Amino acid sequence: MAKLTNFSPLFLLLFLCARSSAAGNYNVLTFGAKPGSGDAAGAFLKAWSAACSSSAPSTIYVPTGNFLVSQARFDGPCRSPSIKFSIDGTLVAPSEYTGSSGASGHWIAFSNVDGVSISGGRLDGRGALLWACKSAGRSCPAGASSLTFTSSKNIAVDGLTSIDSKLFHIVILQCQNVRLRNVNIHASGSSPNTDGIHVQMSTDVDVVRANIRTGDDCISVGPGSAHLWIERVSCGPGHGISIGSLGRGQGLHEESVRNVTVKTVQFSGTQNGVRIKTWGSNIPGHVRQVVFQDVLMRNVQNPIIIDQNYCPENRGCPGHNSAIKIDQVQYLNIRGTSATPVAVKFDCSRRNPCSGIRLQGIKLSYQSRQAQSSCKFANGVASGLIAPPSCL
Ligand SMILES: *[C@@H]1O[C@H](CO)[C@@H](O)[C@H](O)[C@H]1NC(C)=O
């Protein structure tokens, strides 16, 4: 409480009123954040400490304005059963990428929290200088992802906008029960490594209504993910929605993904549509129970693709024989246009052929002509209208 002596009496009165009239409401201005001036990270962290240590449900309020935040780690566990960030303003990252905020991997990061939600708000990762460094082929740090949740559960994000991340926009790592709703993600189509949403080692994750335009995967699903629901997403520019890459780990554990539904999505001008990608390596694992349904493709280079021979620079893939087994993958009602002649490509593992692939209602064309499909070590069934004709 010693800090309060710095405040004017009026401010103190307002502060006390605000606290007593709505217990558990924490406005970052009260903690010293000033829009448009100075680093607000300290004020955000003080608001977090107050909310986190309260026994009541709490709200942290960020009013309109641009708040420069060098880096913020919101760590739990908290006493408060729920903490809501209600954000009307913009959090702005430093544009340089060499300091702690740029090199450390995370800009705004939550870990070990339960019951945290974010409503509204805009994150401006200011990645342009780092993208330029990477694009010039110089040696640059990887950069920081804009928003990360690690080892957390019961998380909700609704109405957030993320622009120009240095690395991934949103990362969900080792979490359970995460709802992402009405998320808007935007970075240049040529920005490197700016995946929209990356999910890894997490279960029960929903992404519903997202608009994603970025330079890498719109959504990427890494190893250890199960029970994912992705619905009403528009993607493009970007590299599509991808399960994988899997099988790049150290071989210490399986790299598996199961029960993923991707439904009512559209891709515009993307590199891939719906993709499953595994390294041609010895790491074992599986991908199973995946449904891609009601998908519209507009001018997509690889609308439907399984690539089990991924091996950039041909290093570390002896025999190119992926040990990851792909089983029970359904493609239902997938329509639109391919930007290349091969619209359906199943390049599976010789050692571990794909099984249980199901195609139903596929209508993909290439320049108003029939497109082609290509199968290697792929088994399954096709029913209903299938264009290009199935090669299963
Ligand atoms: C698959 O995941 C969904 C959530 O996306 C869940 O509702 C459903 O019960 C899961 N199915 C199985 C068989 O685990």
pLDDT at 115: 98
Ligand 1 centre to CA of 230 (Å) is: 12
* Distance between CA atoms of residues 324 and 278, nearest Å: 7
Separation of alpha carbons 13 and 146, rounded Å: 36
How far apart CA 333 and CA 264 sit, in angstroms, is 10
Candidates 194, 200, 130; CA nearest to 167 is 194
Closest ligand 1 atom to Cα of 229: 5
Query: Does residue 333 have its Cβ closer than 6 Å to ligand 1?
Result: no
DSSP assignment letter at 249: S
Per DSSP bridges, beta strands 354-366 and 369-370 are antiparallel
Residue 171 Cα to ligand 1 midpoint, Å, equals 21
106 is catalytic: no
Task: Give pLDDT tens digits for 343-362.
Answer: 999 999 999 999 999 999 99
Residue 205 alpha carbon, nearest atom of ligand 1: 5
- Give bridge partners of residue 342 from the DSSP assignment: 372
Mutate to test the pocket of ligand 1, among 203, 207, 227, 288 (most ligand atoms within 8 A of CB): 227
Determine which one of 106, 169, 198, 239 is catalytic.
239
Ligand 1 atom at shortest distance from the alpha carbon of 206: 5
The residue whose C-alpha atom lies closest to atom 1 belonging to ligand 1 is 227
Q: What is the whole-number distance in angstroms between the Cα of residue 197 and the centre of ligand 1?
A: 20
Neighbours of 8 (CB within 10 A): 8
Among protein residues, the one whose CA lies closest to atom 6 of ligand 1: 227
Strands 197-200 and 106-111: unpaired
Write down the pLDDT at residue 321.
80
> What is the distance, to the nearest Å, from the Cα of residue 108 to the centroid of all Cα atoms in its chain?
14
Would the CB of 258 count as within 6 Å of ligand 1?
A: no
Q: How many CB atoms lie within 10 A of CB 119?
A: 17
Q: Does ligand 1 have an atom closer than 6 angstroms to the CB of 259?
A: yes
Task: For 137-167, write each residue's pLDDT tens digit.
Answer: 888 999 999 999 999 999 999 999 999 999 9
Q: What distance in angstroms lies between residue 365's CA and the mean position of ligand 1's atoms?
A: 33
Residue 226 has which token pair? Answer: 């199960």
Is the distance from CB of 54 to CB of 47 less than 8 angstroms? Answer: no
Distance from Cα 82 to the centre of ligand 1, integer Å? 25
Please give the pLDDT value at position 100: 56
Tokens of 174: 């080792």
Distance 226 CA to ligand 1 centre (A): 8
Q: Please tell me if the CB atom of residue 226 comes closer than 6 angstroms to any atom of ligand 1.
A: no
Task: Flag residues of the chain having pLDDT under 70.
Answer: 1-23, 99-104, 250-253, 318-319
Task: Say if residue 387 is exposed, middle or buried (CB neighbours under 10 Å; 0-12, 13-18, 19+).
Answer: middle
Cβ burial of 263 (10 Å; 0-12, 13-18, 19+) is middle
Which tokens sit at 269? 């001008």
Q: Which of 172, 259, 290, 291 to mutate to test the pocket of ligand 1 (most atoms within 8 A of CB)?
A: 259
| Residue bearing the CA closest to ligand 1, atom 8 | 227
231 CA distance to ligand 1 centroid (A)? 14
Q: Which is nearest to 230 in space by CA: 246, 212, 245?
A: 212
Give pTM, 2 decimals: 0.93
| Residue 227 CB–ligand 1 contact under 6 Å | yes
Residue located nearest, by CA, to atom 3 of ligand 1: 227
Q: CB of 176 closer than 6 A to ligand 1?
A: no
- Amino acid at site 203: T
List helix spans (H) across 100-166.
100-103, 128-135
Report pLDDT for 13: 46
Ligand 1 pocket member 229 (CB < 6 A): yes
- Residue 259 Cα to ligand 1 midpoint, Å, equals 6
User: In this structure, what token pair is assigned to residue 340?
Assistant: 């290349």
